[in-house]
C-alpha cells in the first residue's frame, strides 16, 4: 500500500488487493463462530456471519492465522505455515456433499456453546473426518477425484512434506519431530520412503483433509466476495520449532548439528517485563534465504494471498531487526539486536507477487529504522486505543495524533476486551482521561471506544467482536504469557443481534466508512 498524492486515498503498492480507503472491519477468528459441533467452522454460520457484517456496512473481516495449531492451541504456533486447520472443516458441508451420513451429525456429542473444548472437538471431528475419507475411497466420485488431483498438483510444494510430517507425528503419539527416531527426524530418504509405503493410508488421510479445508475455504471466500466483504489474514513472522517447515527445511534456520536452535526469538526487557520475553522460535538464516532468492518467503506469502485479500504481518519490526537470544538462556536478558532482511525481502516479494498487500504490526519497541522501513514500503501500521490514554506520556495512539496510513483498533486478540481493560487493567488516571476525551460517564465505554476508532482519520478501523457485544475480560481471546485457557472464545446468538448490527451500521455510516445509509442495506 502506498500513498498517492497527499490529498488522495491510500492505495496498495500494486493492484493485487482491495483498497483500505475509509473502511471498517471486525476481528473474529472462525473458531469463535456459533456451531453445535463444539467450534466455529466454515459452514452455514460463517456465511451468515458474512451477511451480518455486510448488513452493518463492514467491508473487512479480520481473522487470525488459519493454520493447524500445535500444543497450546495457539494459531501463532502452528504445525505448518501452509496447511489449514482441520477443526474448521464444516460437518454440515460434508453431509451436504454426501461424504458423511447425517446420522453422524445427529450423534454429535453435547459440547459447550460459549467456549471451545479442544480435546472433545478433536476427538469427535477426527472420527468424522476418517469417516468422510473412508466414504470417499469407497465412492470414488469422478468429480472429487479430479478436484483432489488438481489440489495435490497446485500445493505439492508444501503438501507432500506436511502430510508425511503430520502422519509421522500422529504415529509417534504427538511427539515433536526432533524426538522421533533419528533417521526420520533427519529425513533419511530410505527411512522416509519405507515409512511412507507402510503408512500410505494415514498420509492420504492428511491430504484429503487439507483438500476439504481449502475446498470449503474457497467456497467461503466466494460468499465473502458476493457480500462485498474482504478477508484480512495474519502471518506470524516466526514459525514453531515443531513444524513441518523446520523439519522439511532445516537449512533455512539457525540450527546446530542436532537440528536444535542455536539462537531463539524473543523481545528485550521493557516496562512490562524485567526479563523480556523468550518466545523460543528458531531464527531464520537470512543469508541462506537470500541466497535462494527468498523463495520460501515468496511462496509463503503467495499462499497466504490465496487465503486472504490482504495480510497483517505480525512483529513487523523483526524484518528490520530481531532480538536474538542464545537457546540455552533461561530468559531474554542476554539477547542482542540482529539486523533482519529489511527492504531486500520485500523487493523480492513485490517483484514476484506484483505488490505488497500487507498491514505492518509495528507495536512494541519501534525505532526510527522500523518506521522508515514501513513508510518506505508504503505499508499501513497499527494503533491500539487501549494504549492511548496514559496521561503521563500522551501516546501517539491518542485519536487526535493518528495518521491516515494506519489501521486503528480498540484492542487486538492479545488485549483484554475494551470493557475488561477499563474495569480491570486501566489506571484511575487512564479511565479519567478516557471519559474526559469521550465526554461521557463511561457506562458504555466499549461503544465510546468504538466511536473513537470509527471516527478517527485512520483509513481502516477494526473492532473485535467482543467489544461490539460489550463483553468483559473473561471473554478475551488470549492472555500473553498464560499457557492455558486461551483461544476458546465463542459468540452466541445474542451477540449477533439486529440491535448491535444496526447500531454499528449507523456509526459506520456516520463516520464515512460506508457509502450508503444503514436502512438502505438492511
- The mean-pLDDT minimum among 16-20, 89-93, 280-284, 413-417 falls in 16-20
- 461 grid coordinates: 478501523
Q: Is the pLDDT of residue 7 over 70?
A: no
The confidence band for 3, taking pLDDT boundaries of 50, 70 and 90, is very low
pLDDT value of residue 261: 98
Average pLDDT, the chain: 94
Extract the C-alpha cell encoding 116: 471451545
Mean pLDDT lowest for which of 77-86, 271-280, 376-385, 503-512?
271-280
Q: What is the pLDDT of residue 519?
A: 59
What's the whole-number mean pLDDT along residues 90-119? 95
Helix (H) or strand (E) holding 289: helix 286-291
93-97, 105-109, 166-170, 334-338: segment of lowest average pLDDT:
105-109
Long-range pairs for 125-128: beta carbons < 8 A, 24 or more residues apart: 125/37, 125/38, 125/86, 125/87, 125/89, 125/91, 128/91, 128/94, 128/100, 128/104
What is the pLDDT averaged over residues 433-445?
A: 97
Q: Where are the beta strands (DSSP E) in 387-445?
A: 406-409
> Residues near 103 by Cβ (< 8 Å), separated by ≥ 6?
none
Place of cell 487486538: 412
Closest by Cα among 389, 377, 483 to 435 = 389
Q: What is the mean pLDDT of residues 367-379?
A: 95
Residue 8, pLDDT > 60, answer: no
> Which of the four pLDDT bands, split at 50, 70 and 90, describes residue 5?
very low
Q: What is the pLDDT of residue 10?
A: 46
- Residues belonging to the chain: 522
Distances (CA, A) of 109 to 104, 271, 337, 422: 10, 46, 50, 38
In the block, residue with C-alpha cell 450423534: 107
* Model pTM score: 0.95
Say if CB 136 and CB 127 are below 8 A apart.
no
Of 142-146, 312-316, 394-398, 504-508, give the lowest mean pLDDT range. Answer: 394-398
Grouping H, G, I as helix, E, B as strand and the rest as coil, residue 303 is helix
Under the banding of pLDDT at 50, 70 and 90, the label for residue 102 is very high
Q: Is the pLDDT of residue 14 over 60?
A: no
Q: How far apart are CA 4 and CA 283, in angstroms?
A: 36
**Can you give the pLDDT at residue 365?**
82
Q: Using one digit for the tens of pLDDT, what is the confidence trace for 226-254? A: 999 999 999 999 999 999 999 999 999 99
Residues 6+ apart with CB under 8 A from 356: 1, 12, 13, 14, 346, 349, 350, 377, 378, 379
Q: Give the contacts of 258 (CB within 8 A, at least 6 positions apart).
A: 178
| Active-site residue identified among 101, 414, 444, 506 | 414
pLDDT at position 481 over 90: no
Asked whether residue 6 carries a pLDDT value surpassing 80, the answer given is: no
Query: Distance of alpha carbon 241 from its chain centroid, rounded?
Result: 18
pLDDT for residue 520: 62
* Mean pLDDT for the stretch of residues 259-270: 94
- Specify the pLDDT at position 518: 59
Examine the pLDDT at 70 and tell me if it is beyond 80.
yes
CB atoms within 10 A of CB 11: 19
Instruction: List phi, psi (to 5°) of 60.
Output: -130, 130
Contact criterion met (CB below 8 Å) for 102 and 94: no
Q: What is the distance of C-alpha 488 from the center of its chain?
A: 15
Q: Which of 100-104, 204-208, 316-320, 407-411 has the lowest mean pLDDT?
A: 100-104
- Name the catalytic one among 304, 314, 362, 405: 314
> Which pLDDT tens digit goes with each residue over 271-300?
668 898 899 999 999 999 999 999 999 999
Question: With 90 as the cut, is the pLDDT of residue 484 above it?
Answer: no
| C-alpha cell belonging to residue 37 | 459441533
Closest-CA residue to 495 (of 467, 454, 453, 461): 467
What integer is the mean pLDDT of 205-231? 98
Taking the CB of residue 507, how many other CB atoms lie within 10 A of it?
23
Q: Point out the catalytic residue in the list 361, 405, 448, 467.
A: 361
- To the nearest whole percent, how much of the chain has pLDDT over 70? 95
**Mean predicted confidence (pLDDT) in 42-66:** 98
Q: Supply the pLDDT for residue 272.
A: 66
Q: Which long-range contacts (CB under 8 A, 24 or more apart) does 368-375 make?
A: 369/320, 369/321, 370/316, 370/317, 370/320, 370/321, 373/319, 373/320, 373/342, 373/343, 374/316, 375/405
Q: Which distant-in-sequence residues (6+ apart) come within 8 Å of 23 by Cβ? A: 59, 60, 459, 460, 461, 513
pLDDT of residue 57 exceeding 90, the answer is: yes
**Residue 414 designated active-site:** yes
Q: Which residue has the higher pLDDT, 16 or 358?
A: 358
- Nine-digit cell at 512? 464515512
In terms of pLDDT, which residue wins out, 330 or 393? 330
Q: Active-site residue 245, yes or no?
A: no
Mean pLDDT, rounded, for 365-388: 95
- Report whether pLDDT(96) > 80: yes
Per-residue H/E/C for 181-246:
CHHHHCCCHHHHHHHHHHCHHHHHHHHHHHHHHHHHHHHHHHHHHHHCCEEEEEECCCCCCCCHHH
**Segments making up each domain of the chain, as ranges:** 249-301+314-378
Amino acid at each position: 500500500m502506498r500513498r498517492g498524492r497527499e490529498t488522495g486515498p491510500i492505495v496498495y503498492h500494486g493492484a493485487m488487493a482491495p483498497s483500505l480507503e475509509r473502511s471498517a472491519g471486525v476481528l473474529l477468528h472462525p473458531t469463535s463462530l456459533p456451531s453445535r459441533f463444539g467450534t466455529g467452522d466454515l459452514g452455514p454460520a460463517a456465511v451468515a456471519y458474512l451477511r451480518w457484517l455486510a448488513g452493518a456496512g463492514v467491508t473487512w473481516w479480520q481473522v487470525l492465522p488459519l493454520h493447524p495449531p500445535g500444543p497450546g492451541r495457539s494459531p501463532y504456533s502452528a504445525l505448518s505455515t501452509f496447511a489449514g486447520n482441520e477443526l474448521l472443516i464444516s460437518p454440515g458441508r460434508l453431509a451436504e456433499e454426501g461424504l458423511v451420513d447425517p446420522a453422524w451429525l445427529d450423534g454429535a456429542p453435547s459440547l459447550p456453546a460459549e467456549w471451545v473444548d479442544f480435546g472433545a472437538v478433536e476427538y469427535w471431528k477426527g472420527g468424522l473426518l476418517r469417516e468422510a475419507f473412508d466414504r470417499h475411497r469407497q465412492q470414488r466420485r469422478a468429480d472429487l477425484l479430479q478436484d483432489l488431483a488438481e489440489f495435490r498438483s497446485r500445493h505439492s510444494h508444501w503438501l507432500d512434506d506436511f502430510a508425511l510430517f503430520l502422519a509421522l507425528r500422529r504415529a509417534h503419539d504427538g511427539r515433536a519431530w526432533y524426538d522421533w527416531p533419528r533417521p526420520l527426524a533427519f529425513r533419511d530418504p530410505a527411512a522416509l520412503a519405507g515409512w511412507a509405503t507402510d503408512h500410505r493410508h494415514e498420509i492420504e488421510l492428511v491430504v484429503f483433509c487439507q483438500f476439504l479445508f481449502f475446498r470449503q475455504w474457497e467456497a467461503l471466500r466466494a460468499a465473502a466476495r458476493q457480500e462485498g466483504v474482504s478477508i484480512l489474514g495474519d502471518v506470524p513472522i516466526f514459525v514453531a520449532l515443531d513444524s513441518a517447515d523446520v523439519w522439511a527445511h532445516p537449512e533455512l534456520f539457525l540450527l546446530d548439528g542436532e537440528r536444535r536452535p542455536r539462537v531463539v526469538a524473543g523481545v528485550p526487557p521493557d516496562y512490562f517485563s524485567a526479563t523480556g520475553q523468550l518466545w523460543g522460535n528458531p531464527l531464520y538464516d537470512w543469508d541462506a534465504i537470500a541466497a535462494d532468492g527468498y523463495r520460501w518467503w515468496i511462496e509463503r506469502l503467495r499462499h497466504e494471498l490465496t487465503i486472504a485479500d490482504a495480510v497483517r504481518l505480525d512483529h513487523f519490526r523483526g524484518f528490520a531487526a530481531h532480538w536474538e537470544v542464545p537457546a540455552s538462556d533461561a530468559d531474554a536478558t542476554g539477547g542482542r539486536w540482529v539486523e533482519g532482511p529489511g527492504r531486500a525481502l520485500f523487493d523480492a516479494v513485490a517483484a514476484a507477487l506484483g505488490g505488497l498487500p500487507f498491514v505492518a504490526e509495528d507495536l512494541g519497541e519501534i525505532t526510527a529504522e522500523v518506521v522508515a522501513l514501513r513508510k518506505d514500503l508504503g505499508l499501513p501500521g497499527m494503533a491500539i486505543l487501549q494504549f492511548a490514554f496514559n496521561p503521563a506520556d500522551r501516546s501517539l495512539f491518542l485519536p487526535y495524533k493518528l495518521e491516515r496510513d494506519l489501521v486503528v483498533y480498540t484492542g487486538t486478540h492479545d488485549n483484554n476486551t475494551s470493557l475488561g481493560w477499563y474495569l480491570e487493567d486501566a489506571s484511575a488516571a487512564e479511565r479519567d482521561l478516557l471519559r474526559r476525551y469521550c465526554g461521557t460517564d463511561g457506562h458504555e465505554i466499549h461503544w465510546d471506544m468504538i466511536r473513537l476508532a470509527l471516527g478517527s482519520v485512520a483509513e481502516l478501523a477494526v473492532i473485535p467482536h467482543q467489544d461490539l457485544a460489550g463483553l468483559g475480560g473473561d471473554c478475551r481471546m488470549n492472555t500473553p504469557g498464560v499457557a492455558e485457557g486461551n483461544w476458546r472464545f465463542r459468540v452466541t446468538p445474542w451477540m449477533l443481534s439486529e440491535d448491535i448490527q444496526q447500531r454499528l451500521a449507523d456509526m459506520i455510516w456516520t463516520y464515512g466508512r460506508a457509502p450508503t445509509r444503514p436502512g438502505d442495506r438492511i
